Chains A and B, each alone.
Chain A
Amino acid sequence: MFKLNLKIVLRNIWRHKLTTAIKLVGLIIGLSTVVVLIAYVMFELSFDRYAQNAMQIYRLQSIEAKSQKENIQLPSGLAEMLLREIPEIEKTTNLFTYNEQIKVGNTLFKRELLTTDPVFFEMFSIPLIAGDLKSVLKQPNTIVVSATFAKTAFPKGNALGQSILLENDKKPFQVVGIMKDVPKASHFNADLVIKSDLKKELNWRAYSSVPQYIQIKKGTSVEFVQQKLKSLYKKYQFPEGVSIKLMPLTKIHLYSHTTRELAANGDIKYVYIFSIVAFFILLIAIVNFINLTVAASLKRGKEIGIKKVMGASVGQLRIQFLSESYLYFLLATVLVLILTYDLIPVIGSKIGIAISLADMVNVKTIWISIGVIIISGFVAGLYPAIILSKLMPVKTLKGYTGHTSGRFGFKKILMVFQFSISAFLIVCTLIIYAQLKFIKTKNLGFDKNQLMVSSYRRFGNNFTAFKAELLQNKEIKSVSLSSFDPGKTFGGSSSWTNDNDTTNYTADFIDADFDFIKTLDIKTLKGRVFSEKYGSDVFDYYKAAENLSGEEARKLTDQKPILLNEAAVKAFNLKRPIDTILSYGGLQGKVIGVVSNFNGMSLHTEVKPVAIQVSLNPTSGYLYIKTNTEDLVATKAKIEEIWKKHFPEILPDLQFMDEHLQQLYMAELRLGSIFISFAAIAIFLCCIGLFGMVYFDLEQRTKEIAVRKILGASVKDLLTLLNSGFMKAVLLANLIIWPIAYYLTKEWLNSFYYRIEISYVPFVAALMLCIILTLLTVSLQAIRTVKKSPVDALKYE
């Protein structure tokens, strides 16, 4: 019997190629999207789990009682102290990474350098392919390289024992080990590893941004360790209001948002969003399948009736329809596997993660995907199986088509549901893109156009000559070196408490050369900017203060010129800022001018008080080059040539400022591109589902249409008739999601201090788009049926 049923299904598939194709395409797209998303979500959830003892490893974080702000800046030696005091702690280490320029032979590279302890390899289960785990990194000036880097830098395969030069150290490092690459799903990246020089003694005066980690013994509860930790606060004179939190290693990637993470972290929020979206896409695909199966099977009422009369039980029929559904799912799955194999890297690059199939797909992901497919196959097959097996043979044999209001009502509900999801995704996409456009075009208070910026470089004394040669080119307007890295750091900061009213103040500082304001084109509102013409500007206050007593030195350095932004003027309540002398904590100097507010950090945050102070002849920092040419690429090449001439040992890494700023919004850009893809997939699935429904609707209503035509209905009348039901569903779907979409996008926009107002436009646009697509989907098909001669349709009776 199974064989016969299988034959019937295959013959049906063959005979109804169009509807089969619609069903399969829907399933394939839906399931592929879901499988890719499962892979992505599983990837995000798998972070740092490669370490065998991942569950026992915690990162130390401090929490300030007042602001509840979490920080990974801790006094050095804290972990060591805990290791001594709490026997349940087994191991400690610290990890710090930075992008370092390295030299192998005559080749320059920029790679992630990790400073840590030798225990790291054991704690994080990173095996050494070559080298001795017991002695590795114990000697000074030794280095471990990753397998991939070893292959790139030493293609002959003789990495061990070779020497590598780091930008900061004059002495070469000797390769003593090759480690397996740190997995991609890790909260830090490392191509090279050297020994950390973090002090082992607890020192509350030496805060360090090097994260410290502890590993507790198996079987010990973290609460127990936490309690023990609390009892140590007094003994070791922890500052008032500071407590230590143990952040589980496996949660760092998704839950930690401190300002100094080792690598860009993910966000559990996005994991939830993507999971929900995946679930909805799957639902759309399942609904499509259900609707089309039921619609197609109503034509098979006769078959069901006959089989029943011949003695088929309801159970047998259910199994038949379920296995039919599974056959479709099986067919789709095969194609899905092929498709996702090619799709994952594409999507990976689209959402900004350099992940390949090998990184994402593991046994767990495959099992979950198969599980999801089996369950959805069951859900998709069950409803048609129940509905169809219930049909009474008396009715079906009389040509009953199931076109009753009840069942059609259910189909409508499913349709409204599908369109709701599509409309929701469209509205969200439009609002996300409006905000992304706002980010791109907002006046930041400085001119990001035709501006290039490098990473932090140590140019040394040759910089003056380099700058002079750059400025000889007419394409280059201005060059500046400063401590400001847009979106990341101004250079320094200071906070202090006002003695009178105990309010907390903070200010950020930028150390910059004379051309900074000009290069970034920041507007001066009051006073003047730094200039080499003024003796007070070129005077070296700190050098002069070297031989003075503390108080006198402070008095002298209070005289150094500074610029404030508007926010600072407002925060310190300066009525007449010019020539005011400020002397609060780290913020000191004589205000010579006020510049307009500029968004030095991302638009998520408000502009904060910033002071700019001049640094005489700086030799290191972030290089800014302002050009006045349209041909930026050629100019960049030219600059790099000059750069190489002056600094053959330093890898040029200029970036256009607008691209540099885009990186601040990686998560948002990723969200945008995912939403636009999903909105497109959802609306496409809806349309093919609709197409199929209309196809069957028309088939069932051929006679009705013919009769109406004979009664005098025009083509327009009939199209209106056929469209109106679907239009109502679309309208209803849109209305339902408007408040939800408004609320959720508003929540999302709230994460930006600078944001757009939500207007009615995205909502109306989504509605229009849905209406137009529905009209097209329905009418293009309907017009054929409607235009047919009614005689043909009625002949069948």
Chain B
Amino acid sequence: MIELKNIEKYYANKGVKSYILRHVTTTIKQGEFVSIMGPSGAGKSTLLNILGMLEEPTYGEYNFMGEDVTAMNERKRIELYRNHIGFVFQAYHLIDEMTVAENIEAPLLYKKIPGSERKSRIADILDRFNMVAKKDLFPNQLSGGQQQLVGIARALVAQPSIILADEPTGNLQSVQAEQIMDLFKKLNEEENITILQVTHSERNAQYGNRILTIEDGVIKEDVKVSS
């Protein structure tokens, strides 16, 4: 599903290149649950951003579902967001001015899904996440865990084939973190959604079935997790 070939990312500053990523080459198949680990500043988030097409690699080839992303135009990329990728952030990034239901609805609007279907999908997902009672609340009226649930619900409602999560539990207490990780595992196993998460936590990484370790911009380890 995802193919990275020799991805490099560096910033040229006064002729000196400071590398974030070097020679990153890997393949991620449909249905995998991959955890990206490594120390601060190793390039994990940059890698995730490149995978999510939020940043462009300086060099290298990136194929998403058989298409070359680096050669894509803005419109095509937006198409991909809309139809295939769901994002989950460490800081949740819900829109403060929107209610829970509206936040979840937002990606559907950009996909131009008709109103009746939007309603049923939102109702469906609220129901699944046990949040029906909270649908008219604003993000700041929710706990961190609940906000992240909304964040995940929002990512899922557009029925993506892959979820990119940047330290999804980084701001959460351990009990809430566990719930979120369980949810990810369930989504991966039951709905065959590809999940890519950046995490610091060894424990969270164990929920997945593969761990990529990055150090100084280079993939140091690529191991399968035995469940």
Contact surface of A with B, Cβ cutoff 8 Å? 1, 4, 7-8, 11-12, 15, 302-303, 305-307, 309-314, 316, 392-394, 397
Contacts and interface: CB of A to CB of B under 8 A. Distances in A.
A313 B106 contact: no
Contact of B106 (A4, A11, A15): A4
A545 B158 CA distance: 114
A15 B75 contact: no
Nearest to B110: A311
B93 A397 contact: yes
Contacts of B107: 310-311
A312 B74 CA distance: 11
28 contacts: A1-B110, A4-B98, A4-B106, A4-B109, A7-B102, A8-B95, A8-B98, A11-B97, A12-B97, A15-B97, A302-B96, A303-B97, A306-B106, A307-B95, A309-B54, A310-B106, A310-B107, A310-B110, A311-B79, A311-B82, A311-B107, A311-B110, A311-B158, A312-B78, A313-B74, A313-B78, A313-B110, A316-B110
Contacts of B105: 4
B55 interface: yes
Given A311-B107, A313-B78, A4 B93 contact: no
Given A310-B106, A314-B74, A394 B95 contact: no
Contacts of A397: 89, 91, 93
B59 interface: no
A192 to B, nearest CB: 67
B158 to A, nearest CB: 8
Contact of A311 (B94, B102, B111): B111
Nearest to B46: A394
B93 A312 contact: no
Contacts of B94: 306
A1 B91 CA distance: 25
Interface in B97-127: 97-98, 102, 105-107, 109-111
Contacts of A302: 93, 95-96
A393 B87 CA distance: 12
Chain B interface residue bracket vs A: 20 to 34
A384 B6 CA distance: 39
Contacts of A303: 95-97
Contacts of B75: 313
Contacts of A11: 97
B49 interface: yes
B145 interface: no
A311 B87 CA distance: 11
Contacts of A15: 97
Nearest to A312: B110
A307 B106 contact: yes
B64 interface: no
B95 A309 contact: no
B138 to A, nearest CB: 9
Given A309-B81, A311-B111, A393 B54 contact: yes
Given A302-B93, A310-B81, 19 more contacts: A1-B110, A4-B105, A8-B95, A15-B97, A303-B96, A303-B97, A306-B94, A306-B106, A307-B110, A309-B54, A309-B81, A310-B87, A310-B154, A311-B82, A313-B110, A316-B110, A393-B54, A394-B49, A397-B89
A302 to B, nearest CB: 6
A302 B89 CA distance: 12
Contact of B93 (A7, A12, A305, A392): A305
Find the residue from B54, B91, B97, B107 having the highest chain A CB count within 10 A: B97
A11 B102 CA distance: 13
A113 to B, nearest CB: 68
Nearest to A15: B97
A316 B110 CA distance: 9
Nearest to A9: B97
A311 B78 contact: yes
A4 B154 CA distance: 16
Nearest to B82: A311
Contacts of A4: 98, 102, 105-106, 109
A306 B93 contact: yes
Contacts of A316: 110
B168 interface: no
Interface string B172-204: 000000000000000000000000000000000
Nearest to B79: A311
Nearest to A302: B93
Interface string B73-92: 01100110110000101010
A394 B154 CA distance: 19
